[in-house]
Amino acid sequence: MSPFEQTGSAASFDRPPLQVDGAVLARGALATVAWTAVAASVTLLANRKVGFAEPLYVDQTNLGLAAWAVLLAIATTIGAVWPPLGARLGRAAPWLVVLALFVGIWDLLTAKLGLLPVPFFAPPSSLVEVYAEDWPRLGESVLHSLRLLALGFLFGTISGFVTGVAIGWSRGLGYWVHPVLRFLGPIPSTALLPMSFFFFPSSFSAAIFLIALATWFPVTVLTWSGVASVDKAYYDVARTLGARRSFLIFKVAIPAALPHVFVGLFMGLGASFSVLVAAEMMGVKSGLGYYLQWAQGWAAYANMYGALIVMALIFSSLITLLFAARDRLLGWQKDVVKW
C-alpha cells in the first residue's frame, strides 16, 4: 500500500489504518502451527510405559508447550501490525519451525515410541523435571563455576597483558621471557592438573592457577605481537610532538595493540572454559563440570543434558559480553566480525 493513495482524505492522516504485514503473518502462523502440532502430539499420543516409576512433569511439559504455542499466536498477531516485533518474529520463524520439528521428533523417539535407549536419551519432560527439581543445585554449580572462571580469567588476562606489553616493548625482558613462553605456553593446562593439585593448598587455588595459565598464554602472545606490530610512524609522530616514554607505551602502543589483545582474550576465554570444566571434573568438588561428572556417575543423563544446555548458554553469553566490550572499546575499527 502506498502512502500516497490516501492523500485525498485529511482524516486518514489522524489515524492511519493498521498496516498488516502479510509476510510476518504467514511466517508467524507457520511457527505457531508447528508448535501447536508438537503440543498436540505430545499431549494426545500415548506415552510408552518404561520401567516402574511414573515419569514426572509430563502434564506440565505438555501444558508448557501449549502455552508456548499460544504465546506464538499472540506474538504473530501483534507482530503483523507492530513492525519491531514483526521483524524479530519474521527472522526467527524458520528457526522456530526447525526447533518444533526437533522437539516433536525427540518426543516421538523417546517418550512415545521408545526407540532410543532409555537412560541415555531422556524425553523432553525429564529435562523439565531436572530444571524444576534440581535448580538449586544447578544454580549453585553455575555460581561456583562463574566464580572460578572469573578469578582465573582475570588473573590470566592481567598477567598476560602485562607480560605481552613488557616483552613487546623491552628487548631485555623479551630475552628472558620469550624462552619460558615458548616452552611452557604450548603445554595444555589440563596436562598440569595432577601436578597443580599437589602443589597448591586447595584444588580451588590450583584451578584458578590453571585457568589463569590457559588465559595467560594467548593473551601474552597476542598482546606482544600487537605491540610489536604497531606502525613505527605512530611513534615518530608522537615523539616529534613531545611525547615521553610513558606516553608512547600507554597512549600509542597499547591502544594500537588492543585489536590484537582482543583476539588473545577471545582465545584465552575459550581455553579457560575447557580448563574450568576439566578442573571441576578432576578435583574441584563444585561447579558445572562437577555436576556433569556427578550426573554421569549416577546415570542421571537428563541432568547431564540439562547442565550442558546451561553451560552452552552461559559460555555463549560470556563470549557475547566480550564482543560487546570489544564493540564499545574498539568501535573505531572497520569490518569487524560480529558474534
Partner 1 sequence: MVAATLTAAVDRSAPASRGADLAIAGVSHAFDLEGRPLPVLDDIDLNVRAGEFVALLGPSGCGKSTLLRLVAGLEPPTQGRIAAAGELITAPDPSRVVVFQDPTLYPWRTVWRNVALGLEARGLLATQKGRVDDALRTVGLAGFERAFPRQLSGGMAQRAALARALVNDPSVLILDEPLGKLDSLTRIAMQTEIAELWRQRGFTTLLVTHDVEEALFLAQRVIVLSERPARIKAEIVNDLPYPRHRGDPRLAELRGQALAHLGLDASW
- Give the shortest CB-158-to-partner 1 separation in angstroms: 21
Applying the rule CB under 8 A, the residues between 183 and 202 that interact with partner 1 are none
The answer to whether the beta carbons of residues 77 and 106 sit under 8 Å apart is no
Query: Does 237 sit near partner 1 (CB under 8 A)?
Result: yes
Applying the rule CB under 8 A, the residues between 251 and 290 that interact with partner 1 are 251-252, 255-256, 258
Closest CA to 270 of 321, 220, 215: 215
Q: Among residues 252 and 311, whose Cβ is nearest to partner 1? A: 252
Q: What is the DSSP string of 164-222?
A: HHHHHH-HHHHHHHHHHHHHHTTS-GGGGHHHHHHHSSSHHHHHHHHHHHHHHHHHHHH
Query: Does 240 sit near partner 1 (CB under 8 A)?
Result: yes
Q: Residue 234: enclosing H or E segment and its boundaries?
A: helix 232-240
Q: Which stretch binds partner 1 (CB under 8 A): 32-40, 96-104, 122-130, 239-247?
A: 239-247
Alpha carbons 26 and 333: distance in angstroms, whole number: 39
Query: Does 244 sit near partner 1 (CB under 8 A)?
Result: yes
Considering only 82, 131, 247, 294, the residue that binds partner 1 (CB under 8 A) is 247
Per residue in 168-184, is it b (16+ CB within 10 Å) or e — as a string?
bbeeeebeebeeebeee
- Give the shortest CB-168-to-partner 1 separation in angstroms: 17
Query: Does 234 sit near partner 1 (CB under 8 A)?
Result: yes
Closest CA to 24 of 63, 84, 73, 76: 76
Query: Does 334 sit near partner 1 (CB under 8 A)?
Result: yes
Closest CA to 177 of 189, 191, 154, 160: 160
Going residue by residue from 311 to 330, which x/- string records binding to partner 1, judged by CB under 8 A?
A: -------------------x
Q: Among residues 147 and 239, whose Cβ is nearest to partner 1? A: 239
Chain centre distance of CA 168? 32
Alpha carbons 56 and 129: distance in angstroms, whole number: 7
Q: Which stretch binds partner 1 (CB under 8 A): 5-13, 71-79, 229-237, 309-317?
A: 229-237
Query: Does 88 sit near partner 1 (CB under 8 A)?
Result: no
DSSP 179: H
Alpha carbons 72 and 162: distance in angstroms, whole number: 50
- Give the shortest CB-228-to-partner 1 separation in angstroms: 18
Contacts with partner 1: how many residues (CB under 8 A)? 22
- Give the shortest CB-28-to-partner 1 separation in angstroms: 39
Q: Among residues 234 and 294, whose Cβ is nearest to partner 1? A: 234
Interacting residues with partner 1 (CB under 8 A): 231, 233-234, 236-244, 247, 251-252, 255-256, 258, 330, 332-334
